[in-house]
A = this chain, B = another copy of it.
Amino acid sequence: MKKLKRSERLVELTQYLLSRPHTLIPLTTFAERYQSAKSSISEDLAIIKEVFQEEGIGELQTMAGAAGGVKYLPKAHEARSRAFIEGVCRQLEQADRILPGGYMYMSDILGEPQTVSEIGRTFATLFADVEADAVMTVETKGIPLAYATASYLNLPVIIVRRDHSAVEGSAVSINYVSGSNKRMHTMSLGRRALKEGSRVLIVDDFMRAGGTIQGMKDLLAEFRAQVAGVGVFVESGDVEEHLVTDYVSLARIQDIDTKSKLASVTLGNYFPMDEAHSAAQ
């Protein structure tokens, strides 16, 4: 790479860091890449760090010493996530979303890459320190959320299949009972998809009683893998008994009026309830 001016280096450094989240980059890499003194690079990084912090883009961790370097951790300010999810809640409350069986139509919302990316950033903030080795979801709607989360955390994605697909090779299958209709289902994961002892972050788009999440946890046990965390985009409040209790939700369907076909949707358990809100409950 040709020697860059200060201003060019700032642009290049910014894009370089943004495209390599959760990756430790030694200062020498930059010094060589830009043919600049480490002290200049350090000054550049200090500027970037401040802007990233101010703008709620994320943290720039700098580690001193021979093994040192810089690591970009994408993070969303809680206020930003809250405002964003509040907006999603209002979208979910729009007319015509309630389908037969009390399901909610979310394909349009989950079809927007910007929305999916913002949800991923929120999960990546929440699970930044759980030291997961992979993000897992079950097909179909959880897949974009898992990739968005994984790309901010720099982790691979593991997709559990609802049928045993021909293209995964030998696989491990488990049965699970979906909490909503008490029916038996099967999910499977290719043997080579997951190393023993891995720590896995589970992400899904929707949770009622948690049967599907519990299925993924059972599958992880078959692989002697650990659950590093569970994040769901929307949970249903219409649940008698949860099969899974240790999870984080971003939004919660409180109530569905079957006559008007309208739902009341609030923030999920990720967001501490404020005074006004809890008083109104």
Interface residues, chain A, CB within 8 Å of chain B? 2, 4, 6-8, 10-12, 14-15, 18, 47-48, 50-52, 54-55, 57, 99-101, 103-108, 111-114, 116-117, 139-141, 143-144, 147-148, 150-151, 154-159, 161, 165-169, 190, 192-193
Contacts and interface: CB of A to CB of B under 8 A. Distances in A.
A62 to B, nearest CB: 16
A43 B104 CA distance: 48
Contact of A143 (B2, B143, B161): B143
A116 B159 CA distance: 14
17 contacts: A7-B10, A8-B47, A11-B14, A11-B52, A15-B18, A15-B51, A99-B168, A106-B167, A107-B190, A111-B159, A113-B155, A113-B157, A114-B151, A114-B154, A116-B147, A141-B159, A143-B143
Contact of A169 (B47, B99, B116, B193): B99
Given A105-B169, A167-B105, A150 B10 contact: no
Given A11-B14, A140-B140, A166-B100, A150 B51 contact: no
Contact of A147 (B11, B50, B113, B190): B113
Given A143-B143, A169-B99, A108 B48 contact: no
A167 B14 contact: no
Taking chain A's interface residues, is the majority helix, strand, or loop, or is none over half, making it mixed?
Answer: helix
Given A12-B55, A113-B150, 17 more contacts: A8-B47, A15-B18, A15-B55, A15-B57, A18-B18, A99-B166, A99-B167, A104-B167, A108-B156, A108-B193, A111-B156, A111-B193, A112-B157, A113-B154, A114-B151, A139-B139, A144-B147
Copies per complex of this chain: 2
Most chain B CB within 10 A, of A2, A156, A192, is at A156
A113 B145 CA distance: 12
Contact of A107 (B12, B147, B159): B159
Most chain B CB within 10 A, of A54, A111, A159, is at A111
Given A8-B47, A113-B150, A144-B147, A101 B166 contact: yes
B157 A111 contact: yes
Nearest to A120: B113
Contacts of A106: 167
B10 A107 contact: no
A112 B155 CA distance: 7
Contacts of A10: 7, 10-11, 14
